[in-house]
Amino acid sequence: MAARKRWSLSVPQDGFTLAEHALLAREAEQWGYTDAWSFESDGLDCFTPLTVIAAATNLRLGTAIANVYTRGPATLAQCAAGVADVAPGRFILGLGSGSQVIIEKWNGGRFDKPATRVREMALFLRQALTGERVVFKGKTFEVDGFRLTKPPSKPVPIYVAALRPGMLRVAGEVADGVILNWLAPEDVPKSIAVVREAAEKAGRDPMSVEITARIFVNLDPVTPDSELAVRRHVAGYLNVPVYRHFQEWLGRTSALSEMWRAWEAGDRKAAVAAIPQTLLDDLFTRGPLPEIRRRLIRYFDAGLETAFLALSTTEADSARRQAIVREALRVIAG
């Protein structure tokens, strides 16, 4: 039996200004999209795009993710309250730990005890977003007497981004949903099983935890240029330790060993070339739009409930790029 099927924008969408996201989101809503989920890495923050879309649509909105290291506990509560005020009852706060690169190399922090940090942040925010005065003493941070003076008028669900079992269990134990990433349709049940088991052991309804994921979709015809762009994208991520360990847990150590060895030796070109074609096909959805839609449906058949479509194209012309994205969104939603 297929899971519930919710199509979501992944924003910000490359090739669109922040202001242009309002029209794009309105069009997507007309085509049947129910959600818009944001990300942040080295571009825009995760909250601002959602405020633009909130004012223009009735879409459900979520962060995927708001980082638990780069903002303090009170600041995260305030950011969440701000979006929830613009979109009461429609905002979900997705939390995650990010990676060593983001925390340590870009933000001068320490990537320490990520599962504990996420768990404690989720527990703190549950209290803080109600407007009660919070005294919280955890292993990774302490808060003494914070009160959110403008709490959300409606509850804000909290989701947790998770890759390997430790964080997947955190999601099952304390979150309303889990956010998956960098996996093939065939990988989805393995992740879900850990979440559901943890929820059940925590005395929760295991089916109440929503299963969501960001799925990478390349809209270009398969050419040497587009192939290289996809390979570079995959190599850039899967050499980050958290993503490497995730792929090892999924059973791809043998397939990726040559790529990892070349990367560690400093030979980026060889590393990119060493990625097996089968792995590209596993982690990136490509091809004619009807085929892309059919493959995305496989994620839902595997248990996914909400798919954030991370669309990419190497098209340089702005107008053409926007047309490609719009056509893809329309066809994929069916």
Largest distance between two CA atoms of the chain? 58
> Is residue 251 pLDDT above 80, yes or no?
yes
> Is residue 1 pLDDT above 50, yes or no?
no
The per-residue pLDDT for range 80-119, each reduced to its tens digit, is 999 999 999 999 999 999 999 999 999 999 999 999 999 9
For the chain, give the number of residues: 334
305: left (phi over 0), alpha (psi -120 to 50) or beta: alpha
The per-residue pLDDT for range 290-322, each reduced to its tens digit, is 999 999 999 999 999 999 999 999 999 999 999
3-state secondary structure of 178: strand
Cis preceding linkage at 12, omega within 30:
yes
The span from the CA of 282 to the CA of 290, in Å, is 17
pTM for the whole structure: 0.97
